[in-house]
Amino acid sequence: VITTIAGGVGAARLLAGLVQVVAPSDLTAIVNVGDDLVLHGLSISPDLDTVTYTLAGAINPETGWGLVDESWQARAMLDMYGGVSWFGLGDRDLGTHLFRTQRLAEGADLVTVTREIAAAWGLELSILPASCDPLRTMVTLAEDDPTDTDTPPLPAGTEISFQEYFVQRHHGVPVSAVRIGGADVALPSPGVLESIGDSEFVIVAPSNPIVSIDPVLAITGIREAVTARRSDVIAVSPIVAGAALKGPADRMLTELGHDASVVGVAALYSGFCGTFVIDVADESRAAEIESLGMRCIVTPTVMRTPALAADLGRTILDAMRGRS
Amino acid sequence: VITTIAGGVGAARLLAGLVQVVAPSDLTAIVNVGDDLVLHGLSISPDLDTVTYTLAGAINPETGWGLVDESWQARAMLDMYGGVSWFGLGDRDLGTHLFRTQRLAEGADLVTVTREIAAAWGLELSILPASCDPLRTMVTLAEDDPTDTDTPPLPAGTEISFQEYFVQRHHGVPVSAVRIGGADVALPSPGVLESIGDSEFVIVAPSNPIVSIDPVLAITGIREAVTARRSDVIAVSPIVAGAALKGPADRMLTELGHDASVVGVAALYSGFCGTFVIDVADESRAAEIESLGMRCIVTPTVMRTPALAADLGRTILDAMRGRS
């Protein structure tokens, strides 16, 4: 089994590449749940859904989240009522949240529900929420955030949930701190530590280091389990040429005092990761990464197409299997 | 103000007639919440929605519940997952439940949320949930209920919620008892007792006496408030020629030891209701009703069209205003 620690879009693309070069049943994805939220009474797990929908070939290709062939009738009604509608819930996507919420209310845990959803989509890889316990990534605003058409103003120092920062406020405001709420008491989902320990090797997907990867590692015991496999851990940089391909990872790194570069991410990962994959655009930084005690692989990492994602998957396999 | 005690479809049709003959702002509907349920984490109030949607001219004319121009994308997904889908949640209708659930979670009470929903539809009448407290009409099965394609078998004596009886099991199984769960601790919504007390007169809509009207009256203080207005209370029989126009009222009356006729309903209402309206089809029973100490009005009561509903509304007005 090969285990991947995953956030949303970037991780989903890499996994979609890996299933082309490894039997899907040999893959396990341990997925961030720090972005999860309860909205309108519904339990929503954005990263789990992005991974599931992408691997099912059902992701909305225009947005990178949500489902293809989506309609928005429920949201139109919410808008008519003046309700909370900053989090885009399509009608088909709602079916997933309704199912998850009902099953959780019936007493099923998130691992079981996630497995049921993946099975309904015909997926063979194992998608594991990092924890079944509530985990909430919280972001502290570094500056006053002025009001927007549908968001009230907030003063500097206010702590808001990741989705309020990311979706409601379009990650447009600088942050001064990130806290993984609940991480001190959350336990890894059943199978997570075993999957890391028994895996042929562990991939850290090209996801946001601060709000996708760290919330997984922050759960009791996971960082230690990954660190114990350090020589078998390979991470793909989510930063290419100083910028995030998607989302605010570059700005967040800078705002939190890190270097928004492959070297900055490698420095964050060097304690638990032995091999670091950077894009050819960052080839000149390879020596700096090696000076952190990591092996550095230079290869195209921008997964514009499924074929490019498969190439990256093959490169990772070669890098980890070709050792000796 | 004229106050109407209301269930779902029959009450909604009568109210749609009344707004044609009385200023809507002079009407208050006190609506049953004993059918309410939480499903998929959503707070669903079927009777409130049927009244609102009908008066908004947005009810699905084919089903009598839900919204016109509805789509079913969320339900198709729920079906794909094998989830609970016996309660039909259309995509537009979901918008209402999402809004209600979110507002309740924010701390608004059901009166406020119901008012907001009605205002969004441009309604001027006052729609009041009978209680803001949880009320759950529970039905005990009189016989074993065999399994169906999507419902497990249940033995005689099992108590299930009204929606499980009505929607999931298509009210196809005899009942031995009905209990209004929570009625002993539920309080009337703010404004309910005042509306009954101050009303010019009180209409009991042609709704199911056992599972629509009684759950309203069972709430602390409401039956007493209505009884105090007995001479100003007019009820329209939901039974015509021994049958309910919709739903299981006739069978439930029989199963619970009542007479499934206008006289059987009148007997249930005679303690709090001074005037009873029956259909021309039941004219021969008028004397029996009068013998219960009630005035009896005989008029067409089957509201096949909005014009017929307005006629019934006019007859009610004449009956209550023409007295003296």
Q: What is the pLDDT of residues A72-95, one digit of tens each?
A: 999 999 999 999 888 889 999 999
Q: What is each CA distance from A173 to A28, A115, B222, B238, in whole angstroms?
A: 35, 36, 53, 60
Q: Chain B contacts of A80, Cβ < 8 Å? A: 95, 120
DSSP A280: G
d(CA A205, CA A50): 14
Q: Token pair 């021994």 is at which residue?
A: B242
pLDDT at B151: 75
Q: Token pair 């991947």 is at which residue?
A: A4
CA dihedral over B112, B114, B120, B124, signed as positive or negative? negative
Helix (H) or strand (E) holding A126: strand A126-129
Q: Token pair 């729609």 is at which residue?
A: B127
Q: What is each CA distance from A281 to A240, A291, A304, in whole angstroms?
A: 7, 19, 15
pLDDT at A277: 98
- Please answer yes or no on whether B91 and A91 come within 8 Å at the CB atom: yes
pLDDT at B17: 98
What is the least distance, in Å, from the CA of A205 to any CA of chain B? Answer: 28
Helices in chain A by DSSP H: which ranges? Answer: 9-18, 46-55, 73-81, 91-105, 110-120, 162-163, 192-198, 214-217, 222-227, 249-255, 262-269, 286-290, 306-321
Q: Which DSSP string do the residues of B122-161 spell out, in sequence order?
A: T--SEEEESBSS--EEEEEESS-B---SSS--B-TT-EEE
Q: Chain A contacts of B37, Cβ < 8 Å? A: none
Strand partners, B278: B298
d(CA A66, CA A89): 8
pLDDT at B266: 98
Length of chain B: 324
- Please answer yes or no on whether A95 and B103 come within 8 Å at the CB atom: no
Q: Which DSSP string do the residues of B286-314 spell out, in sequence order?
A: HHHHHTTT-EEEE------SHHHHHHHHH
Structure tokens at B159: 């108590």
Strand partners, B39: B42
Asked whether A14 and A71 are in contact (CB, 8 A), the reply is no
d(CA B96, CA B43): 10
The model's pLDDT over A290-316, given as tens digits with 9 standing for 90+, comes to 999 999 999 999 999 999 999 999 999
d(CA A323, CA B113): 63
Q: Chain A contacts of B93, Cβ < 8 Å? A: 77
Q: What is each CA distance from A109 to A106, A113, A129, B266, B306, in whole angstroms?
A: 9, 6, 10, 51, 50
- Please answer yes or no on whether B102 and A84 come within 8 Å at the CB atom: yes
Determine the residue type at B194: E
The model's pLDDT over B178-214, given as tens digits with 9 standing for 90+, comes to 999 999 999 999 999 999 999 999 999 999 999 999 9
Residues of chain B that touch chain A, judged by Cβ-Cβ distance less than 8 Å: 38-43, 70-71, 73-78, 80-84, 89-99, 101-103, 105, 116-117, 120
- A115-120 contacts at long range (C-beta below 8 A, 24 or more positions apart): A116/B81, A116/B82, A117/A48, A117/A52, A117/B81, A118/A52, A118/A55, A120/B80, A120/B81, A120/B82
What is the least distance, in Å, from the CA of B69 to any CA of chain A? Answer: 10
Q: Which residues of chain B have pLDDT under 70?
A: 149-150, 324
What is the least distance, in Å, from the CA of A273 to any CA of chain B? Answer: 37
Provide mean pLDDT across the span A158-184: 92
Cα A221 vs. chain centroid, distance in angstroms? 19
pLDDT at A149: 63
Largest CA distance in chain B: 63
d(CA A268, CA B275): 80
Nearest residue of chain A to residue B68 (CA atoms): A73
d(CA B315, CA B198): 21
- Please answer yes or no on whether B41 and A71 come within 8 Å at the CB atom: no
Asked whether A238 and A209 are in contact (CB, 8 A), the reply is yes
- A302: exposed, middle or buried (Cβ count in 10 Å: 0-12, 13-18, 19+): middle
The model's pLDDT over A10-57, given as tens digits with 9 standing for 90+, comes to 999 999 999 999 999 999 999 999 999 999 999 999 999 999 999 999
Q: Chain A contacts of B73, Cβ < 8 Å? A: 70-71, 73, 90-92, 94-95
What is the least distance, in Å, from the CA of B96 to any CA of chain A? Answer: 7
**Cα dihedral A219/A165/A256/A51 (nearest 10):** 50
Asked whether B12 and B188 are in contact (CB, 8 A), the reply is no
ipTM greater than 0.90 = yes
Task: Give strand ranges (E) for chain B.
Answer: 2-6, 27-31, 37-39, 42-44, 126-129, 136-141, 159-161, 175-181, 202-204, 233-236, 239-240, 243-244, 275-278, 295-298
Entry pTM: 0.94
Selection from B183, B203, B205 nearest residue B195 by Cα: B203
Q: Token pair 């391909």 is at which residue?
A: A245
